[in-house]
Amino acid sequence: MPEYVKVAQASELEPNHGKLVEVQGKKIALFNLDGKFHAIDNTCTHRGGPLSEGELEGDEVTCPWHGARFKVSTGEVLSPPAPQRVGSYKVRVNGPDIELEL
């Protein structure tokens, strides 16, 4: 049975923005894409840049350190220099709360 953990309130995250949340020792980048929420690991696989601080354009976030791009809905690498994808998490909205499956 999956365990969902509350990480934020939906009202805390503006549309088309990201936010860092920490859950069970993990740093996770939470994104609001026009009211649909997505979560991926916050740490870029290239040099550890904070993806929650990256520029969000559509379903893509650009690492603020060296420009690697990731798909926020899947964690897939879209452009170098990142060598591999980042983890992604299932997200659900439960009333006013945003919850992640861990």
pLDDT tens digits, 33-42: 999 999 999 9
Tell me, what's the pLDDT at 48? 97
Give the pLDDT band of residue 94 (cuts 50, 70, 90): very high
φ/ψ (deg, to 5) at 80: -65, 165
State the Rg of the chain over Cα. 13
- Side-chain half-sphere exposure of 12, counting CA atoms within 13 A: 14
Tell me, what's the pLDDT at 9? 96
Give the pLDDT band of residue 102 (cuts 50, 70, 90): confident
- Bridge partners (DSSP) of residue 5 are 100
Give the Å distances, CA to CA, from 50 to 2, 40, 62, 72.
27, 11, 10, 13
Question: 65-77 as b/e, with b when 16 or more CB fall inside 10 Å?
Answer: bebbbbbbbebbb
pLDDT value at 2 more than 90: no
What contacts 76, CB < 8 A, 6 or more positions away? 70, 85
CATH topology of domain 4-101: Rieske Iron-sulfur Protein (2.102.10)
pLDDT value at 92 more than 90: yes
- pLDDT (mean) for 16-33: 96
- pLDDT (mean) for 59-69: 98
